[in-house]
A and B are shown apart, each in its own frame.
Chain A
Amino acid sequence: QSALTQPASVSGSPGQSITISCTGTSSDVGGYNHVSWYQQHPGKAPKLMIYDVTNRPSGVSNRFSGSKSGNTASLTISGLQAEDEADYYCSSYVISDTLVFGGGTRLTVL
């Protein structure tokens, strides 16, 4: 199972919005609504930010939102803040009843 494709890095200034893409195939992202997004700060465990494409767990800021079109899912962070600087990973359920992650995107807040 190949990893989902994410841009290696994105950046934005405080207050701006950024979008991170996550591209898969019809066997994973395109075929199911089990796409999740995770935030990981250096030396820390990942944290779930979005599940089932668009849903936010309790306690996650509404500045984080998710969407999907075809085989590509997206994470949008609005009103960028310094503490948003981190690595972001997407994941998807796969037709083989497994889980696949994206390669990760480093977000830099300028």
Chain B
Amino acid sequence: EVQLLESGGGSVQPGGSLRLSCAASGFTFSNYAMSWVRQAPGKGLEWVSGISGSGGNILSADSVKGRFTISRDNSKNTLDLQMNSLRAEDTAVYYCAKDRTTSTVTSVDYWGQGTLVTVSS
């Protein structure tokens, strides 16, 4: 059974940093691209960043480029998101998401339960 367990969410002041982690199990982690997808309160889904199975291909949405960094450790089956220079508009539930393919992000077939990040002074 595929399981994705996020951690690291919480409250932070504008300009601060936070690191999210996702522990994956139930599948061969290195064989699949992974993404972070967020959902602001009462709003829709927004793709944030993705990484290929090998970790060699990394893409991010324009809204977080230069501030957020996605990474993975295939030896530990973990996916991380380092978030710097946080803004109020980054407040959202962040989902760890497994893709159906290896090399790029095409379709999320499994989602974690989400972790809430609140940016407020």
Q: Which residues of A contact B (CB under 8 A)?
A: 1, 3, 34, 36, 38, 40, 45-48, 51-52, 57, 89, 91, 93, 96-104
Contact = CB atoms under 8 A, between A and B. Distances in A.
A34 B113 contact: no
Nearest to B47: A99
A45 B39 CA distance: 10
A48 B59 contact: no
A100 to B, nearest CB: 7
A57 B100 CA distance: 11
Contacts of A36: 106-108
Contacts of A34: 106-107
A44 to B, nearest CB: 9
B45 A104 contact: yes
B46 A101 contact: yes
Given A36-B108, A97-B57, A102-B44, 14 more contacts: A3-B44, A38-B45, A38-B108, A46-B45, A46-B108, A48-B107, A51-B100, A89-B44, A91-B45, A91-B107, A98-B59, A99-B47, A99-B108, A101-B37
